[in-house]
Homo-oligomer: A and B are copies of this chain.
């Protein structure tokens, strides 16, 4: 057995999170696409069956109260809160990430106030953030200024109305410096919106600690909420009273069943709600979050870095030099929980890798993307993935 396989066995034996793997439904494949769609937590199917058969089928409308449907967006938000370093009462679940980016960015511009008319956005962002930012700019009379995250501090100023940034780049896996960028935006007198899609559940975020204003994220990647599970919105407690939503649906009203013609927003996190929440998707997410009950994000982060370190080492060892190039930073402080390898024939290579039981994904035009979910990926998986990649590249 190769030295790396021996190392993998030892690392797995010493892994304090290894038992978590048993809480997921997995098969023989090495699943390195949890940064696209997290694997199914084993407790979800029975929960969803109960929601459908008993809560909907038998209790019907009574479930809005008796099964806690009405308060699910805030309740589940509070379950996500510790994973992103937020005290309770600041996160609400619902809608898609795109819709939440719109709410957050428009609200941020309104908080910034008159005279500030430029929205700064990460030019390397996941496209939807850029598209939605353009719409938010258009509808608030702002100009959109896309820049590389490294240039953000140099473009901030009196005109800055809001800044939208990704914590981890979806393509390269680069982790941006949330504390220092947040401080820079605040120094310019503007609010910042962080997109946590590729960091929440993989590494500490520290929203409260770093004074982040607003944040959004999806729940179907490292949080394993299921396909298209609802996204979330964080509004810092002391900003909530000034959160002026562009989507003031009846669910965000102070008295939603009063059916009043005049809009008066609720206090706190529910102000970020819009319409009726999608209960099936939402309660599947709630069940999925239970796997976090006895896990610290710090231990997840430690294992994540060990996994990606080990993967880079195995790739270096197994794959002929020059055949692939890592786009993911080597420094731990700049790395999320994925490794992106540039490779001319990436689309074909990923197809063959998947045929051989190693599931990552391809991102146009030439990126092999491998996500490492510490709750269910082990070191033997990592060694096998790198070895299979080398075999695949060898033809």
Q: Nearest CB to that of A63 among chain B residues?
A: B227
Q: Nearest CB to that of A220 among chain B residues?
A: B276
Contact A135 B280 (CB under 8 A): no
Contact A60 B39 (CB under 8 A): yes
A327 close to B (CB within 8 Å): no
A306 close to B (CB within 8 Å): no
A364 close to B (CB within 8 Å): yes
Q: How far is the CB of A1 from chain B (nearest CB, A)?
A: 29
Q: Which residues of B contact A126 (CB under 8 A)?
A: 250, 259
A173 close to B (CB within 8 Å): no
Q: Which residues of B contact A69 (CB under 8 A)?
A: 227-228
Contact A128 B250 (CB under 8 A): yes
Query: A53–B135 Cα gap in the complex (Å)?
Result: 38
Contact A359 B60 (CB under 8 A): yes
A213 close to B (CB within 8 Å): no
Query: A359–B44 Cα gap in the complex (Å)?
Result: 31
- Protomer copies: 2
Q: Nearest CB to that of A171 among chain B residues?
A: B259
Given A61-B37, A134-B248; A279-B139 close (CB under 8 Å): no
Given A60-B33, A226-B52, A284-B280; A275-B231 close (CB under 8 Å): yes
Given A97-B276, A135-B248, A276-B228; A57-B281 close (CB under 8 Å): no
Contact A98 B249 (CB under 8 A): yes
A45 close to B (CB within 8 Å): yes
Given A45-B57, A259-B363; A279-B226 close (CB under 8 Å): yes
List the interface of chain A (C-beta within 8 A of B): 25, 27, 31, 33, 36-37, 39-40, 44-45, 48-49, 52-53, 55-58, 60-61, 63-64, 69, 95-99, 102, 106, 123, 126-128, 130-132, 134-135, 139-140, 146, 171, 218, 220, 226-231, 245-251, 253, 257-261, 263, 274-282, 284, 359, 361, 363-364
